[in-house]
Amino acid sequence: MDTKVGIDKMSVYLPHFYLEMEELATARGVEVEKYTIGIGQNKMAVPTIEEDIVALGANAAKQILTEEDKGAIDQVIFATESSFDYSKASSTYIHELLEIQPFAKSFEVKEACYGATAALQLACDYVRLRPNRKVLVISADEARYGLETGGEPTQGAGAIAMLISADPQIFALDMDSISITDNQFDFWRPNYSEYSMVDGKFSTELYKNIFTRIMTKMEATQPEKLKQLRAMTFHLPFTKMGKKALGSYEELADSVFNEEEKTALLNTWKSYFEESARLNKEVGNVYTASLFLSLVSLLIFAEDLKSGDQIGLFSYGSGAVAELLVGTIQDGFLNALNKDVIVQHFNNREAIDIERYEAIFNEAVPTDDSKTTIKGPIETAGFYLAEVDAHRRYYKYRD
């Protein structure tokens, strides 16, 4: 039998502050239910100037790496669409901060929110050929649409780190997947623009359309495998999006399954949806990390899932590229994913009011060649952006 390859360790790291959607709704003169029910979000993570994508990613990865891992990692792949440099990859900083062995390579990948899935696939293929080596995949983003914009309630930030190895403890990925590319403008950010451009309604329709096209392809090519999927996780720019995707598959008239089979499949998937969206509701959009945050959420909260259960991962990146991955839960998943630590990390965050959120949102790293000590509004433990000097970013660690 082929060696199993996939996610051996996995961690989540969030900014210290968050804004309650209720606070945002009141400030923007919107009914709170629009955000909490209509969009499906409770809180929105708010990163400070110290908590850039490198700091978030390094803090996520630090939690999972042993000295042995650092010696076995051959690649550090950083997936993001919040990169602050056209050329230098965020993973070069991570490589140094975490003291990964010097002969590893480090690079960034990009395709909107799909990027981390591409990184994961690259990592798995590398390890399949070299089962005694490992790859570190980091996915970190800051979703910024701008104050008082239509996309504001779907902002968020955070990072997921995944260590990819043979015989993984958490989740083994199948080699087969179904991917799709469809050149569209639903969400994009030209290099000269600080904020994303989004056609939210079109993006929702495109996402649903692509999900149903992938489901149709899966039905046609691997119907038995599809029927065995215990749960389906989604890229969740806002949690209502996953419900909409399930609804679009339900409404799809043509199916190789009879009505009873399809209803049974959808009811099973629906029964796990709330657990798979629970963490995402508390963070907001984390772009590349959203799908993997949802996977963590499902694995720690769905109490009856067990080793051997197969899970679908629907990855969607605007622009648009999507892929359906299938993986199998492994024996050690509950030990490797420490639910108490994750829940505590979420609970240790601090709520801020609208004035503080807006002030933090407007803070920016200097763009001239001055030497500036970065001073955030709070000193949290871990890696942080400490200084910018002649356009170079420097990080420090605080106990």
Q: Which residues are within 8 A (CB) of 379 and not within 5 positions of it... i.e. 6 or more apart?
A: 398
* 348 assigned to a ligand binding site: no
* 150 assigned to a ligand binding site: yes
Report the SS3 class of residue 182.
coil
Nearer to ligand COA, 187 or 272 (CB): 187
Helical residues (DSSP H) of the chain, grouped into ranges: 21-28, 32-33, 53-62, 67-72, 90-97, 115-129, 200-221, 223-227, 240-251, 259-281, 290-301, 333-336, 339-347, 354-362
CB of residue 33 vs ligand COA: minimum separation in angstroms? 3
> Tokens 């043979």 sit at which residue?
166
Say which DSSP state 94 is in: H
* 285 assigned to a ligand binding site: yes
**Do residues 160 and 32 touch, judged by C-beta distance below 8 A?**
no
Nearer to ligand COA, 148 or 304 (CB): 148
Q: Is 235 part of the annotated catalytic residue set?
A: yes
CB of residue 379 vs ligand COA: minimum separation in angstroms? 32
Q: Is 33 part of the annotated catalytic residue set?
A: no
CB of residue 23 vs ligand COA: minimum separation in angstroms? 16
Q: Is 152 part of the annotated catalytic residue set?
A: no
CB of residue 83 vs ligand COA: minimum separation in angstroms? 17
Which residues here bind ligand COA, judged by CB under 6 A? 31, 33-34, 37-39, 150-151, 153-154, 186-187, 198, 200-201, 203, 207, 237-238, 240, 316, 318
User: Quick one: tokens of 56?
Assistant: 């978030």
CA angle, 387 as apex, 382 and 392 as ends, to 5°? 115
Nearer to ligand COA, 9 or 235 (CB): 235
CB of residue 206 vs ligand COA: minimum separation in angstroms? 8
* 347 assigned to a ligand binding site: no
Q: Compute the distance between CA of residue 396 and CA of residue 376 in angstroms, rounded to an integer.
A: 13
Q: What share of the chain is helix, strand, coil (3-state, %, to 5)?
A: 40, 30, 35
Catalytic residue among 20, 81, 111, 323: 81
Nearer to ligand COA, 41 or 75 (CB): 41
CA separation, residue 2 to residues 133, 186, 317 (Å)? 16, 39, 30
Say which DSSP state 36 is in: I
> Tokens 């945002």 sit at which residue?
24
Strands 17-20 and 350-351: parallel
CB of residue 186 vs ligand COA: minimum separation in angstroms? 6
Picking from 71, 96, 174, 93, the residue whose alpha carbon sits closest to that of residue 128 is 174
**Do residues 47 and 157 touch, judged by C-beta distance below 8 A?**
yes
Picking from 139, 126, 124, the residue whose alpha carbon sits closest to that of residue 286 is 139
Nearer to ligand COA, 21 or 127 (CB): 21
CB of residue 142 vs ligand COA: minimum separation in angstroms? 13
| DSSP for 301-335, written as a single string | H-TT--TT-EEEEEEEETTTEEEEEEEEE-TTHHH
Nearer to ligand COA, 167 or 205 (CB): 205
Binding-site residue numbers are 145, 150, 244, 285
Binding-site residue numbers for (3S)-3-hydroxy-3-methylglutaryl-CoA are 145, 244, 285
Residues designated catalytic: 81, 113, 235
